[in-house]
Copies of this chain bind each other. A is one copy, B any other.
Amino acid sequence: MADSSTGTFRVACVQMEPHIGETAQNIERSSALIAEAADNGARIIVLPELVSSGYVFHERSEVEAAAENIPGGPAVSAWADVCRAKGVYVVAGLPEAADGAFYNSCVLVGPEGHVGTYRKMHLWNEENSFFAPGDSGFRVFDTPYGRVGMIICYDCWFPEAFRACALDGADIVCVPTNWVPIPGQAPSERAMANVLCQANAHSNGLYVLAADRVGVERGQEFVGQSLIVDHTGWPLAGPASEVDAEILYAEISAEAARAGRTWNPYNDPIRNRRPDAYESLVSAPSSTDDGRES
């Protein structure tokens, strides 16, 4: 599948509410929603972060009970079954068990089975108590619909993540996520997570498909507002509800994204980069409040 098709096709972001401790039911429910989106014509379908397990772990044993080896575990097997039956691709999050560690991972699964895995590189808050930092780097995979990258939730706060996908030729970045409220959000303002998706879609000339969860789990609120962003940075569908389950749909085209990156005879946001001036992005130590360079 070295060549990517370039026609217009439908994508979906499944906003839903997983329940912690109910892994089998979460897998069954997510599989049913994938089938629904597929029946409605979607060919790439994105589901939330940790959709098979829920998010708010209190004990390591809870992670262990929900985590699986990839591929071959129950969630990826179930999703692959639906992908095979419906001829679709799915990106969805799950806890991965590998080499004695757990990762907050997501998979790309298609009619041919498991295509690739991404292990979350930037961990949020208490995830650090249960998951190892990702070691997959940012990988982009060929599908018949275009080149697909994957990042998860807090990764959106790092434009480097989107850029690394773009530099590897991504037409689409799928974002399984569990966005939590951000202090200072004014009701009149679009959610900052959405703003980040828009900015990075625009700056890289690629689609962003963000599927969030909803609900309150063990006191932790999630904000919904799943979003499908055009390669120009403008929303194609959503933001979805802040509280209700919902499936977003939009029509996209990898060819349109590729053509759209040529803004005029001089300008393309990828080709115009100045790597000669970006050295600090890979060499600088992290800045600290008490140890800044002067």
Total copies of this chain within the assembly: 2
Q: Is A220 an interface residue (CB 8 A)?
A: no
A7 partner residues in chain B, CB cutoff 8 A? none
Nearest B residue to A2 via CB reads B294
Known A-B contacts A199-B198, A202-B192, A287-B167; the reply to A274 vs B158 at CB < 8 A is yes
A261 partner residues in chain B, CB cutoff 8 A? 289
A289 partner residues in chain B, CB cutoff 8 A? 258-259, 261-262
Shortest C-beta distance, A168 to chain B (Å), equals: 7
Q: Is the CB of A288 within 8 A of B271?
A: yes
Q: Is A95 an interface residue (CB 8 A)?
A: no
Q: Is the CB of B186 within 8 A of A196?
A: no
- In the complex, A278 Cα to B162 Cα: how many Å? 10
Q: Which of B189, B234, B281 contacts A282 (CB 8 A)?
A: B281
Q: Is A18 an interface residue (CB 8 A)?
A: no
A280 partner residues in chain B, CB cutoff 8 A? 138, 164, 167-168
Nearest B residue to A199 via CB reads B199
Q: Is the CB of A281 within 8 A of B198?
A: no
Nearest B residue to A198 via CB reads B195
Known A-B contacts A195-B198, A275-B282; the reply to A293 vs B234 at CB < 8 A is no
The contact size tier of chain A is 35 or more
- In the complex, A277 Cα to B262 Cα: how many Å? 27
Interface residues of A in 173-225 (CB under 8 A from B): 182-186, 189-190, 192, 195-196, 198-200, 202-203
A243 partner residues in chain B, CB cutoff 8 A? none
Shortest C-beta distance, A105 to chain B (Å), equals: 15
Known A-B contacts A164-B277, A261-B289; the reply to A232 vs B272 at CB < 8 A is no
Q: Which of B124, B203, B259, B266 contacts A266 (CB 8 A)?
A: B124
Shortest C-beta distance, A210 to chain B (Å), equals: 14
A128 partner residues in chain B, CB cutoff 8 A? 266
Shortest C-beta distance, A27 to chain B (Å), equals: 29
Q: Is the CB of A138 within 8 A of B277?
A: yes
Inter-chain pairs besides A128-B266, A160-B163, A160-B278, 11 sampled, C-beta below 8 Å: A2-B294, A124-B266, A126-B266, A138-B280, A154-B267, A167-B280, A169-B294, A189-B234, A192-B198, A261-B289, A268-B286
0 or 1 for each of A142-172: is its CB under 8 Å from B? (1 = yes): 1000010000001001111001101111000
A59 partner residues in chain B, CB cutoff 8 A? none
